[in-house]
Amino acid sequence: EYESYREEGKVKTRFIRYLGKESDEKNIPLPKKSAHVQTPLYPEQSKQAGDVTVFWNIAKTELNMPTIIDSVCCGDDNIEGKSPGKILTAWAINKALHPESATNLGDWVRTTVIPDLSGLPGDYFTDSAFYSALDRVCYKDTTADGFTDFSSLICDELYSFWRFNNPLLNEGTEILAYDLTPVLIFGNGDNLGEKGYNSRHVNQKQINLCVLVSKFDKVPVSYFLLPGNFNSMSSVKELLVQMIEMSLEPGTLIWDRGNTSEESIRDIEALGWNLICGVQKLSDEAISLIRQTEVTLHVTNRVKSTKKSAIYATRANGRLFGRDNAGVVYVNIAKQMETFDTRNALLMEIDEDLTELCDNLAGLKKQEIESKIAEIAGEYLKFFKIYIKKEKTNYNLKWEYNEEEIFQSEAFDGKYILYSSDTTLTCL
């Protein structure tokens, strides 16, 4: 028991006596308590939902991916529970968002809403489940030349489903872009793994991934794999086989200059396809068209502008790979100006070095002077006309710019050439 008292104007309390436990004494009630026991709430670990849900809906609704994989690999498009289609769709989403190895893939899946979306428990997503699903796509088969591979058929079905629901505008034909990309691999288990060229200049085994993509909506149309030592040119034969097997209505194919040769052009055009491709500046035919074609910076020649440059183009008048007016010459303005300025700066440096050499000719033989000139000018020697004359006991050195060579190079700077089967196309 406590009582209150006032001391120097302040209210204080003091203990009087002990009364015992609550309700020990008569007429002292227990405090009121809730009839329901409150269970403490602990928040569950959050799960990745937004991007995963979007990707799952795209795969399931827009591409019909789980159903197509199940139908092709298992002959059943309505598999309840675990199926290769659901497992591999989860793997595809992971590759797009947060690539993981198969060993760690299951842990990643369980941090997302994929188990809820797929209707499968999180424990179903194990490394063995992923590998088993892959075995349904491609597996050893003694009755089919060693193995059976459904990957191309799956790709065709995915593209067909997409294009049926997203037709080309005005019932047009496909414009396909083709490219080859080296993919570095680790380990020794892949028969396709070979050392070959890659942009990183890494001396490591790789495979070449070849992809066809629709220009209309950027959807992948088909793909195939080649050994890592195949170059772009040698991949064209495989591309021809792929295009024949797809049975697409001929349209237009686009590829870079690494694939271009007279033979590859003829092969593609023989299938009824038009071709738009880069051409390497190697043949006399290509070099001549580039140099003789003036690309004026007129509004009718403007193709596009970027933050760093602008592209102008015009059709070349002449034959390219046996077709009249099939060449299109374009100029990259920034690249052209950079090349102009770089060469001019180097020519000025060489001019200064020649002036210094001219002041130190005493005692030098003609052969020694020529050697020093070659060392100073290097590959730019063709841009100078140099005269060495002997006056009495010493040599005299004079030079001037070779304006014709400079003009010829300027006509080539920043300019490139394309081949177009359809000569009625504009350059814009």
Task: Note the pLDDT of residue 47.
Answer: 73
Q: Buried (b) or exposed (e) across 186-225, using 16+ Cβ within 10 A?
A: eeeeeebbbebebeeeeeebbbbebebbbebeeeebbebe
Candidates 136, 114, 117, 141; CA nearest to 125 is 114
Architecture of the domain delimited by 172-277: 2-Layer Sandwich (3.30)
Instruction: Quickly list DSSP for 59-96.
Output: IIIIS-HHHHHHHHHHS-S---SS-HHHHHHHHHHHHH
Whole-number mean pLDDT of the chain? 86
| Rounded distance between C-alpha atoms, residue 333 and residue 305, angstroms | 10
Q: Write down the pTM of the prediction.
A: 0.74
Judged by average pLDDT, the poorest of 22-36, 155-169, 170-184, 362-376 is 22-36
CA distance 294 to 277: 20
Q: Are 225 and 260 within 8 A, CB to CB?
A: no
Domain extents for the chain? 50-149, 172-277, 281-428
pLDDT per residue as tens digits for the range 318-366: 999 999 999 999 999 999 999 999 999 999 999 999 999 998 888 888 9
pLDDT beyond 90 at 402: yes
Q: Which of 27-31, 111-115, 306-310, 370-374 has the lowest mean pLDDT?
A: 27-31
Task: Kindly report the number of other CB atoms within 10 A of residue 184's CB atom.
Answer: 13
* Pairing between β-strand 205-214 and β-strand 194-195 as defined by DSSP bridges: antiparallel
DSSP annotation of 25: S
Percent of the chain scored above 70 by pLDDT?
90
- Based on its alpha-carbon atoms, the radius of gyration of the chain, rounded to whole angstroms, reads 37
Residue 208 has pLDDT above 60, yes or no: yes
